[in-house]
Amino acid sequence: MRLQRTYWCGNISGKNIGEKVVLAGWVQGRRDHGGLLFVDLRDRSGLVQLVFDQERHGSLFAAAEKLRSEYVLAVSGVVIGRSPETLNPKLATGEVEISVEDMDLLNTAKVPPFYIEDNIDTDENLRLRYRYLDLRRPEMQEMLKLRHRLLMATRKCLDERGFLEIDTPMLTRSTPEGARDYLVPSRVSPGFFYALPQSPQLFKQLLMVGGVERYFQITRCFRDEDLRADRQPEFTQIDMELSFCTRTEIIAEVEALMADLFQAILGQKLDTPLPALSHSEAMERYGSDKPDTRFGMELQDISEIAGECSFKVFSQAISGGGAVKGINVRGQGTFSRKELDDLTALVQSWGTGGLAWMIVTEDGFKTPIAKFFTAEQLDRLGKHMHAENGDLLLFVADKKENTQKILGQLRVHLARQLDLVPEGKHHLLWVLDFPLFVYDHEEKRYTSNHHPFTAPREEDIPMLQTEPLEVRSLAYDLIYNGVEIAGGSIRIHGGEMQETVFRLLGLTQEELDEKFGFLLEAFEYGAPPHGGIAFGLDRLLMLMSERKSIRDVIAFPKTAAGTCLLTGAPATVSPGQLKDLHIYTVNRKRS
């Protein structure tokens, strides 16, 4: 490269008029105006207009005529002001242009499979196949900058608050933590495998035993699970752990970090302390443990009234120990019968028997089930649902847990369908006091609601032996616009309590020794009380930037099928590599 860059393209302004500069970048476009040729040159910082004058530099003009999109250039020239009629207020460099005097053609380029510009209507798979081209687009460049700023702001905040950034191993042992592990065969130990970490959970607890007291890490995690818009097989996590802390102290530390990030990334002040709901309250009011509270439509329990009416779907649900709940879709009493039938089919596909509805009119309730209620019962129901003329009331009758879950999904579906979710609103809240255990009916055993190192609330410890499903944990999730972005807990730091929980989860002494013996042994050497939390950095950035998929905020993401369209991973390997690892594959076809 003969010409050495002195400025970034996007940093040229009126202050540079008359100055000789050297720029480098990619050709965004070219316009031929007879004896003048205009070329837009783009680099990471932005775009600036180049001018080639045939009269002044004939040979240079001829070379410029051969330029095409995405050719790589270095140019030398003088910054000149544009004439008033050619100013471009939409461009940061729109008051100037570069009168080119010299040029290095650094590389040519094939015609790209899509335009290198924002707001392109291109299939995502094509963008992922040519991700190196997709990353050139300004919006993707801005996303990479935003991610960088988020990482730097995180490190700055946690450093100032006394946290040490410490790396933990990528090659560890497989432990039962929820999702399937990605396994790595050991060449030097035939038949033995490493696992890629689902999280640094065990190591960060061991760091607390090791006296570190305040740890953080921005780390990669790996989970072999089904994918969706906000999930990837490998993702980035902001991991934190503290010793000698309470749940209240951890929440305060997290809120301080979030306040710094909101200021650094969005330029907004985050009001703290953040609101909080217990898990049971979140389920009762929103039908979800990650409620979106940016809109209303809260669940209302009408079980008492439903138990008195003669509508068998309602009364039988109540007599069977279930619940009847409803939501008020305000002002939507204009729904047609077909639209209501479509909603019924939708909730049935989610796993319940059906959907009852009432439309509130000036003359009362328009509904096929009105005959099963007395006038007094309908009046009480209307008051309980805060019903007004023109409202649509929707009800589900089922087991309480399923009723809440179905209505929780329905309120979110309707809010999106009816455009009730306010744009640009960032709402965060805590959900606390999750159940320590859930019961897996297929495997007929208890499983951890968070993970097996979560401590129970002290007042609930006696119920561990009698009513395990009633035990609340010292766990907490941070919810952002209806998406869980962080989860953590106060940990068990005593060996006896940890063994009690492991046994309730059905682990034998042999399994305890094999999978967690090193942790239990560490607890015998003075483990401090400790707790922590982990952020899904990709989800956090997706929400802050108001993108719809975490693939938009990751430089080289996988598809929903877990494949990399750019490199072709996962792929087969040579028989020799498999032989070295003592592995034989039964089926090498891609599913």
pLDDT of residue 407: 98
Q: In this structure, what token pair is assigned to residue 473?
A: 């944990």
Residue 510: band (very low, low, confident or very high) from pLDDT cuts 50, 70, 90: confident
Q: What is the dihedral of CA 22, 24, 30, 34, to 10 degrees?
A: 20
Residue type, 219: T
Which residues are 374's β-sheet partners?
none
Residue type, 309: C
pLDDT of residue 588: 60
Distances from the Cα of 134 to the Cα of 51, 245, 251, angstroms: 27, 45, 38
Buried b vs exposed e over 119-153: b needs ≥16 C-beta within 10 Å?
A: eeeeeeeebbbbbebbebbbebbebeebbeebeeb
User: Could you give the CA distance from residue 542 to residue 581 in angstroms, rounded to a whole number?
Assistant: 39
Contact, 485 vs 531, CB < 8 A?
Answer: no
Contact, 221 vs 199, CB < 8 A?
Answer: yes
Q: Is the pLDDT of residue 403 over 90?
A: yes
pLDDT in tens, 222-263: 999 877 766 899 999 999 999 999 999 999 999 999 999 999
pLDDT in tens, 16-46: 999 999 999 999 999 998 899 999 999 999 9
Q: Is the pLDDT of residue 526 over 60?
A: yes
User: Could you give the CA distance from residue 48 to residue 91 in angstroms, rounded to a whole number?
Assistant: 8
Contact, 449 vs 489, CB < 8 A?
Answer: no
Q: Is the pLDDT of residue 184 over 90?
A: yes
Contact, 72 vs 107, CB < 8 A?
Answer: yes
pLDDT of residue 211: 97
Supply the mean pLDDT for the chain.
94
Q: Is the pLDDT of residue 373 over 90?
A: yes
pLDDT of residue 509: 83
Q: What number is the average pLDDT over the span 325-344?
A: 96
Q: Environment class of residue 105 by beta-carbon count within 10 Å: exposed (0-12), middle (13-18) or buried (19+)? A: middle
Examine residue 570 and say whether the peptide bond preceding it is cis (omega within 30 degrees of 0). yes
Contact, 557 vs 230, CB < 8 A?
Answer: no
Torsional class of 523: left (φ above 0), alpha (ψ -120 to 50), beta (otherwise):
alpha
Alpha helices by DSSP H, listed for 523-553, are 537-544
Residue 508: band (very low, low, confident or very high) from pLDDT cuts 50, 70, 90: confident
Residue 178: band (very low, low, confident or very high) from pLDDT cuts 50, 70, 90: low
pTM score: 0.92
Q: Is the pLDDT of residue 590 over 60?
A: no
Share of the chain above pLDDT 70, in %: 98
Q: Which residues of the chain does CATH 2.40.50.140 include? A: 9-107
> 295-421 belongs to which CATH class?
alpha beta
pLDDT of residue 229: 65
Alpha helices by DSSP H, listed for 242-278, are 247-261
Q: Which residues of the chain does CATH 3.30.1360.30 include? A: 295-421
Residue 359: band (very low, low, confident or very high) from pLDDT cuts 50, 70, 90: very high
Give DSSP secondary structure letters for 345-412: HHHHHTTSS--EEEEEETTEEE-TTGGGS-HHHHHHHHHHTT--TT-EEEEEEE-HHHHHHHHHHHHH
User: Could you give the CA distance from residue 304 to residue 324 in angstroms, rounded to a whole number?
Assistant: 9
Give DSSP secondary structure letters for 141-185: HHHHHHHHHHHHHHHHHHHHTTPEE----SSB----SSSBPPEEE
- Which residue from 521, 500, 533 is spatially nearest to 201, judged by alpha carbons? 533
Q: Which residues of the chain does CATH 3.30.930.10 include? A: 142-277+429-575
Give Cα 33 to chain centroid, integer Å.
Answer: 48
Whether CATH 3.30.930.10 fits 142-277+429-575: yes
pLDDT of residue 585: 86
Share of the chain above pLDDT 90, in %: 86
What is the CATH number assigned to the segment(s) 9-107?
A: 2.40.50.140
pLDDT of residue 423: 84
pLDDT in tens, 532-559: 999 999 999 999 999 989 999 999 999 9
Examine residue 273 and say whether the peptide bond preceding it is cis (omega within 30 degrees of 0). yes
User: Could you give the CA distance from residue 517 to residue 244 in angstroms, rounded to a whole number?
Assistant: 24
Contact, 185 vs 583, CB < 8 A?
Answer: yes
User: Could you give the CA distance from residue 389 to residue 376 in angstroms, rounded to a whole number?
Assistant: 18
